[in-house]
Structure 1
Amino acid sequence: MTTLLIDGLPATEADLHYLALVNYGAYTSFRIEEGGVRGLALHLGRLEASSVELFGAAVGEARLREVLRAALAGRDAAWVRLSLFSPDIWPRMPSGTGVPRVMTSVSPPPPPLADSLRLQVRTYGREEPHIKHTASMGLIRARRSARTDGFDDALFADPDGVVSEGSSWNIGFVAGDTVVWPQAPMLAGVAQALIAQELSRAGLDQRTAPVNVADLAGFDAAFICNSATPACPVTAIGDQTFDANPDLIDRIRAAWAANPIEPI
C-alpha cells in the first residue's frame, strides 16, 4: 500500500485534479533505513534549490522534515517520494510564485533495479537536466524503447556521443582502480555523491571527464547507481561488453554504505 499526503494531510479532490492535469514540479526519492536516510541533507538541499528555481520560494528544510515525519508515522523502513507542486501554476497562467505544496508518497522499500544491466545508447538529454523534475515522458519512452529492442535500460548521450546519465540513475566507468564519472549536463545524483565521498576508503581513485561512446572499449567495467540501487554492474552497452566484477561492485556498495544514516 502507498500512503499519499499533501502538506501532511490526506489529498483532497482538488489536489488530485490539479496533479492529474499539470505536470510541473520537482521531487526527490529515497529509502528509509532504521528510521533515517543516507544523504538526507543532500536530498533536501537539492529539493530546496529546485523549489527556488521552479516556484520562486523555498519550502524550508524544517518544514520538509516535519511533513516527512508525519508521513512516515513511525515507520522504520519505507520508500519515500517528496514532491513539490503549486496550484497557482497552470499552462495558461504560468507566472505564479510562492512556497509550493509538499506531497509525500510512502510505500514499501523496493528491490534494486536489477542484478546486472544491458544498456542501449539513446540520443537524448533531459530538459533542465540539473533538476529532478516531474517531466518523465522522455525517460519512460527511452527505457520502453530500449526494452523493446532487447536491452534492459537506456543510457543517454548527446548527438556527438558524449555520455551523460541513464533513465533514472547515474553511471560510472572504471579503468583499473579509477572510477570515471561522465562530465556532461545531468542530474547530480545523491547516491553518486555518497559513493564519491567514500571511494578512497574502498581503495579506489576517481575523476570526472567527458566519456564518449566511441571510447567505451577503454574501460574495464561500468556500473549504475541511484537511491534504490547503490551499485549494479553494467554488462553491456550496445555491442561493448564488460566484466560484471563482483568484487568491484562490493567495494562500491561498501563506499555507499559507509555514509551514516541521518535522522529525520
Structure 2
Amino acid sequence: MDILIDGLPATADDLAHQALVNYGAYTSFRVEHGAVRGLDLHLARLDQAAVELFGESPGEAEFRRLIALAVVGRDKAWLRVSLFSPEIGHRNPSFVGRPKVMTVVSPPPPPLATQMRVTTVPHVRETPHLKHVATFGQTRVRRAARAAGFDDALFVDDQGHVSEGVTWNIGFIQGDRIVWPQAPMLAGVTQVLIARGLAGLGLSSQTRAVHLSEIASFDGAFLCNSATPACPITAIDDTVFAVDPTLLTAIKTAWAANDPLPLAVQLS
C-alpha cells in the first residue's frame, strides 16, 4: 500500500491527523491502464465535496495529476482519493481553503460478495449525499446485521422508505425495468453507469420513492458499488428473491458499456 499526500510521501503528522480527526471525504475506484470507468463522476464528486466541506477545490487538473502520479507504472490498481485539512480539528474547525489530497494505492479488491441476504435497519447516514470519512455508523450497523445472521444491512428512513446499503446502492427489478430508490443517500457512480448503459440493452430505469411495504412486489434486487458492478440480493428480511442470471448479466453489460476514461486529458 502506497500513501501520498499532495503527491509526496505521507508523514507521520499527516497520518496522525487522519487517525484523530474524521472530517473529510473520499472516493475510490479501479484504475486500469491509466483509465477509470466513471472518472468524470468521481472527479465531480471530489470537486463538490471539496467546495462543500472546505470552501475550495484543488480543481480537476490537479486531481488528475495526483491520481496519475499515484498509479504511475501500474497496469491495475485500486485507488482511494481522500480530502482533508490539517488546519481543521475538533477545537478549530473554521479553516476555509484548499484541502490536501491523500492517495492510497492497493491491489484491486474482489467483489463485495457473490450474493447477499440483508436486513432492513432504520438508519440515515450523516450528510448522506457525501461520501465522507465518518463511517462509525455504517460499521456498527453492518456488525449488528452480521451478528443477527445476515450478510449486510439496508437502510430505511423514519418514513419507511428504502435508501441505500452500508457501502452500496440497491436496484430493484420490476419486469424489464430497474427501480432505484429516491431518498437521502449517496448517488453511486456504479449506479449511474448502469443507468447510462441500460437503454442500449432495451431496458429502462426509474428513480422513485420505494417503501418497505412494497419490497415483496418486486421480481428481484441487486446491489452495486465500484468494486461490485452487480451482486444479487437473495433476501431482504423475510422476502426471498430468485436470481435471474440473464438479467444480472445484462446489468453487468450495461455497466461495462461505459468505457474507462483516460486520466490524461486529450488535447484537440
Report the TM-score range of the alignment, normalised by the length of the smaller protein.
over 0.9
Match of 1:47 in 2: 46
Cα displacement (A) at 1:13: 1.4
Aligned-residue RMSD, C-alpha: 0.7
For the 8 Å contact 2:58–2:98, the answer to whether it is kept is: yes
Match of 1:159 in 2: 158
Please tell me the residue identity of whatever aligns with 1:151.
Answer: F
For the 8 Å contact 1:29–1:81, the answer to whether it is kept is: yes
Higher mean C-alpha deviation, range 153-162 or range 248-257: 153-162
The share of aligned pairs that are identical, in percent, is 59
Give the length in aligned residue pairs. Answer: 263
C-alpha distance in structure 1 between counterparts of 2:186 and 2:83, whole Å: 17
C-alpha distance in structure 1 between counterparts of 2:29 and 2:196, whole Å: 18
Please tell me the residue identity of whatever aligns with 2:23.
Answer: Y
Match of 1:232 in 2: 231
For the 8 Å contact 2:34–2:68, the answer to whether it is kept is: no
Deviation per CA, 1:165-203: give whole Å up to 9, x if none. 000010000111111000101101100010111111122
Match of 2:2 in 1: 3
Following superposition of structure 1 onto structure 2, how do residues 198-237 of structure 1 map, counting pairs within 5 Å?
198-237=197-236
Please, what TM-score do these two structures have when normalized by structure 2?
A: 0.97
Following superposition of structure 1 onto structure 2, how do residues 14-29 of structure 1 map, counting pairs within 5 Å?
14-29=13-28
Match of 1:36 in 2: 35
SS of residue matched to 2:183: coil
Match of 2:189 in 1: 190
Cα displacement (A) at 1:205: 1.3
SS of residue matched to 1:111: coil
For the 8 Å contact 1:116–1:244, the answer to whether it is kept is: no
Please tell me the residue identity of whatever aligns with 2:79.
Answer: V
Match of 1:104 in 2: 103
For the 8 Å contact 1:79–1:109, the answer to whether it is kept is: yes
SS of residue matched to 1:230: strand
Match of 1:257 in 2: 256
SS of residue matched to 2:248: helix
Q: Which runs of 5+ in 2 are unaligned?
A: 264-268
Please, what TM-score do these two structures have when normalized by structure 1?
A: 0.98
Please tell me the residue identity of whatever aligns with 1:159.
Answer: D
1:72 aligns with 2:77: no
C-alpha distance in structure 1 between counterparts of 2:34 and 2:117, whole Å: 34
Match of 1:168 in 2: 167
C-alpha distance in structure 1 between counterparts of 2:254 and 2:32, whole Å: 17
Cα displacement (A) at 1:160: 2.1
Following superposition of structure 1 onto structure 2, how do residues 86-125 of structure 1 map, counting pairs within 5 Å?
86-125=85-124
SS of residue matched to 1:231: strand
Please tell me the residue identity of whatever aligns with 1:67.
Answer: L
Cα displacement (A) at 1:72: 0.6
C-alpha distance in structure 1 between counterparts of 2:193 and 2:45, whole Å: 14
SS of residue matched to 2:228: coil
Cα displacement (A) at 1:73: 1.9
For the 8 Å contact 1:36–1:76, the answer to whether it is kept is: no
Cα displacement (A) at 1:159: 2.0
C-alpha distance in structure 2 between counterparts of 1:33 and 1:216, whole Å: 37
For the 8 Å contact 1:202–1:252, the answer to whether it is kept is: no
